[in-house]
Amino acid sequence: MKLSAPLYHLKRTAKTLSRQEGIPLHAALDRIAAEEGFKAWSLLAAKAAAAAPASKLFGRLRPGDLVLLGARPGHGKTLMSLELAVAAMKAGHRAAFFTLEYKEKDVWGHLRDLGVDGTRFHELFDLDCSDAISADYIEKKMATAPRGSVVVVDYLQLLDQKRENPPLMAQVRALKTFARDRGLIVVFISQIDRSYDPSTKPCPDLEDVRLPNPLDLQLFDKTCFLSNGEVRFQG
């Protein structure tokens, strides 16, 4: 299934349409769905969920993996990471989202955009927006997490923003060891350097990861980069 834009972009368009024309959101969603060739938004959403890149990506991850998920702002890296968490929970695993970027209401808003009922996964999902987030903090919080749990870190370049935290390289190495010892899947959301030019390269790669501080990117077992609805995975 090929949509004219990623699902979250279509939802934003529907919200704008709802405000501009004073129509209910569900009516705006159905109108957008009709433009994509579906009779109703529910049918489009169901089809999109079945073909979601996150579901396919989750199927390729294994306990102990350290994953890098990168994209420019507005290209869906946060939503993709949350979709991975949802895919894990649908499979019966726990998921945790540690963010130094968003507030709780923002994360729940993203989940609602994905059509997720917060009460459905209440027992499986942990959301942490503490300013104290670091590798050591995450290890303590996830010390008893069962094998196969997915841990999302939002985002890589903020981990060592406080002087009291260890260097970025040391924190990533620590979480790599922790993931392997505990059988967890740790996903780092990453920024892309401003020098990346989509007109010369359709999708960013490891060379385009923004690194304000030294980091060996070979520490990551698998990578996933997004750009304009395109998803490139390497493992």
Domain 53-234's class?
alpha beta
Beta carbons of 125 and 74 less than 8 angstroms apart: no
Given this model, what pLDDT does residue 109 score?
Answer: 85
**Could you give the angle at which helices 77-90 and 104-113 cross, rounded to 10 degrees?**
70
CA proximity to 190, closest of 173, 166, 215 = 215
Beta carbons of 190 and 68 less than 8 angstroms apart: yes
Q: Does the pLDDT of residue 117 top 80, yes or no?
A: no
Domain boundaries along the sequence of the chain:
7-50, 53-234
- pTM across the whole model: 0.81
Given this model, what pLDDT does residue 11 score?
Answer: 84
Least confident of 73-82, 141-150, 156-165: 73-82
Given this model, what pLDDT does residue 46 score?
Answer: 63
Instruction: Give me the sign of the Cα torsion angle 180, 182, 183, 189.
Output: negative
Beta carbons of 95 and 89 less than 8 angstroms apart: yes
